[in-house]
Amino acid sequence: MKNTVENSFPFITRKTPMKNILFVSSSPSGWNSYSHQFASHIVDDLKARHPGAKVVVRDVAKEPLPHVDAAFATGRALPPEKRSPAEAEALALSDILLAELEAADVLVLAVPMHNFGVPSTLKAWIDHVVRPGRAFSYSEKGPEGLLKGKKAVVVVARGGVYSEGPARQFDFQEPYLRAVLGFIGITNVRVVRVEGMAMGEQALKNAMASAKAQSEKIVREFAQLDSSPDTTLSGALA
Ligand SMILES: Cc1cc2nc3c(=O)[nH]c(=O)nc-3n(C[C@H](O)[C@H](O)[C@H](O)COP(=O)(O)O)c2cc1C
């Protein structure tokens, strides 16, 4: 028998392969969008490393989701058998969107900054998927995210610079996304910042180079994580 780490320590298992990638894109600018371009490259790279992975694309700018309504608001808190026909109908699309997220090993979000926050189209997607009982629950210990074990890559694009300097306090985009993803249990979040795109030619050039380096690093790190032994269990046993 080959002398491998797994043979020596049978409780150390290899990570399962990436099966599903969910790509949610939210820029109205299509292929001219920086967030969409960088996020697409990341999805392509992940797919190249995991040829068997299925990619589901939700372009919420091209095909906007409805805003949630009264029937959704009441129905989301009820078990399916207790919902009225109107509530069931209001939740049907949400069920599909949530199933896509539940199935995903990796979530890739392309997010332009709109007025210091996320586009309303992406906010609508968030409202559809962050549902009690499916994405989070409450207990006496407080809220618990139910969508654990996933990775997320968030590509944020901005005209200005928000990672440092005076505009930092106005960044309600990245902290919001980290908070809401964390709330539903997605805490392994990597962020690619494409910023300063409206600050002149040199700033744009620098931002493109920096975003490319950030993206490549993340894909490399994910590849290493996927092929390295999972020592979580051995750590717990030690
Ligand atoms: C409606 C709207 C609001 C915007 N608000 C901001 C903003 O608050 N701060 C900022 O730096 N850039 C803002 N921008 C500029 C975009 O963030 C910038 O063009 C970015 O590249 C958009 O991402 P995208 O290229 O992926 O579409 C705004 C653009 C639009 C269309």
Domain boundaries, the chain: 20-226
CA separation for the pair 110, 187 (Å, rounded):
17
193 CB under 6 A from ligand 1? no
CB 116 within 8 A of CB 160: no
Q: Give the per-residue pLDDT at 232.
A: 38
Q: Give the per-residue pLDDT at 163.
A: 96
Q: Cα 57 to chain center, whole Å?
A: 12
Residue type (1 letter), 187: T
CB 167 within 8 A of CB 196: no
197 CB under 6 A from ligand 1? yes
Q: Of 226, 227, 221, 224, give the one whose Cα is nearest residue 4.
A: 227
Output phi, psi for 103, to 5 deg.
Answer: -75, -20
Q: Give the per-residue pLDDT at 222.
A: 82
* 76 Cα–ligand 1 center, Å: 32
What is the domain class of 20-226 according to CATH?
A: alpha beta
Q: Around 223, how many Cα atoms within 13 Å sit in the side-chain half-sphere?
A: 15
Across the chain, which has 238 residues, the per-10-residue mean pLDDT values are: 45 63 97 97 94 96 98 96 97 98 98 98 98 94 96 98 97 98 98 97 97 94 68 33
Strand segments, DSSP code E, in the chain are: 13-14, 20-25, 54-59, 106-112, 136-139, 142-145, 151-157, 188-194, 229-230
Q: Give the per-residue pLDDT at 223.
A: 78
CA separation for the pair 65, 121 (Å, rounded):
7
Whose Cα sits closest to atom 1 in ligand 1?
A: 114
CB 167 within 8 A of CB 187: no
* 46 Cα–ligand 1 center, Å: 27
